A and B are shown apart, each in its own frame.
Chain A
């Protein structure tokens, strides 16, 4: 039985299983471009997600049990920003290997993700988009203060560079029928999303100042021009409702209130978005149900609401109960209804052979991503129901797999149920042993300023902030692994570990839910039986060899320097520098206690004049300083014995680096 290794919770909870831990580690080491590529391995919308993803990774981040989750979304954004020029060099036209072509309806995140995957497999792709620009809700509904268009364009440009054809302004069902699509293409994917706003039966609901969420957002988002009134009421408690409210205030409304059936805890919108809305002056009125719009002299003057007794029944189903006689009228001049979105399936005709169920939804096999007609697939919100952008991306990937299998074999593909074995929570015994550091705050525009414009309100991390934040990562599931053939159960790892991770029976066994990947055990193991996933085995030896092996100089200095106090990427790289007029090779290490005796002696073999191990100002691993001091003292004696001399190796603390 193959042991399924547990994986970090962040990646496990990400709908596309981005290797989040890995990109955070790459950022921490100054390798921003590689971080970007790691993100993009699974997600074709890194720029978008860096700004708007609802980050289920952060909600599951195990650092949260210690103090606060790592700011994974902000770090993603940082990597994306750092790679903005680099990514352009990666653009390459996909090579078509087949005559077969795929047609995708809808250029939203689901459809475009499927398009990118399919074209990389060598099949031609055409995406049909009813709007004049691609992007789906990302372009046409997400407010610009959350996602500027130029950021979305970064992702779109990379996608388009693959050679995906996007036919904008083409509405399937109108400009071309689904039947024609099926004839033109060898497979069709429906990714039309939920493009219609749901409405409510409201007395006087047909008044022109009563708007629906999506059209309202779209006008604001695309800058077409949207009227606003002094007092606006938004009906609804979801994220779209919050977007509507925050858009309304930016358009100039004096007061914006949100009226929802739910109370504060039940409200479906994300906590942080509600918080930002509150700061911007939006009022939340809980447990209210809309009844009627009141009109005076042809203008809206208020919204009549009734008290809600409860929203969910004992089974948890949506079943609101009202106190009909407890009424309150909220004065306002505009009402916007944001109670949900639904699919526009009007393009589906009888003859298309696509069945719908009793509620009008497409009959859909989630295991095969297929509709009821052969060769027609679907993905995204049109079949999953309301979801986030990253969930749409995940759905797009699934559909692509099904389509590719279909095109290669002629048969559908039953996609396996995912088997992700997630790392268990941090044991309470460990929580106190991890040095606490508070989460780096994302600088935001002051609420009073930002509520009046559509400028992006999150200002982004500076390099120092990103590095500091990335270092808070606990390196879950990237820790110590034991080569059982070499381990002799000598117990050194158990004694040296600051976190009580190893359990030693006939060999050492590393409790992955506890390991912090500090590497102390690997440096101490007398059988060299431990490797750390976070840094590959032999990493340090090889890097020293790479840096020094080619040099013809002699009499230079070598320094192993801890990365913890370093805050620019240049300083995180292995490099040669000038130090007081002498050449010095600097090798960066995640912790000084990882440098072992052989590492400290090796440079002398290559004619180094001296070696310094420089530790950081405050090691977060208990016992690490003691280990490196003693190991270094021993190595000095070895160097003395070897005739090299003990004074040529020193341990030093952090210091200011002279200008190079």
Chain B
């Protein structure tokens, strides 16, 4: 075992893994973290905590992850390279590991200009750090763990026990380069991969063929990203504005059309119907991805709707989640 984390054990056992996402609050509010955590307890093997997603200041991933550890829920900490240089990164990793955090997802992070969107002012003028990129970050973590060395070459007194994750956008532009880049992440030491939201399963399937041809699925555990849709509008938005997310028209059509003029009761019932549709779609996607050879699990993201996750996991026949301690690490 590299880290002995629950997620690692579940994956090592060959069980189809489930991770979910928790978005921390925009305030020093531990209660909010605990509330969301409870919703997700038991319905997934580990909980990702985003790290200032879209560069918006939120309670840090590392702090929220610590809260989860103290409550017996396994976190996946996320670390962007946007906000920290390699010194801070390594220091935070040592701290995280010392606090019991074992899973870390390495990402570059959205550009700080994204923080000033909609009603938010954000910090578009902040210095962007990007001292290292996501692949170099994976490499740093692996060296710390496996060689007990800092990036600069100085030794560590105790290596962090980490299960290193990286993100993958299989349908990102340029599509034909994405598998090559996945290979780089794996070569750098990515133990597990969480992908960008998948809606077009057929295309994902085709891409996974290339992945399998290169044997990448055996070197790393790929968890397909499932973004739970709430409405046709949300799907349309993601299709047009979120890089690497492609939504087939049939899925969008399944949502009821809610018009402004409708009476509020009707709107309310249609909204509830939409939610059901969204959950149903998510379940179908999970089941479809499960059929694809090389997909080791799913990563469910229900943005500001963590409540939907338990239902979805249940409807997808993925409950109950296994107890990771039941897996013998020696056989991992």
- Assess A/B contact in the complex (Cβ within 8 A): no
Chain A interface (Cβ within 8 Å of chain B)? Answer: none
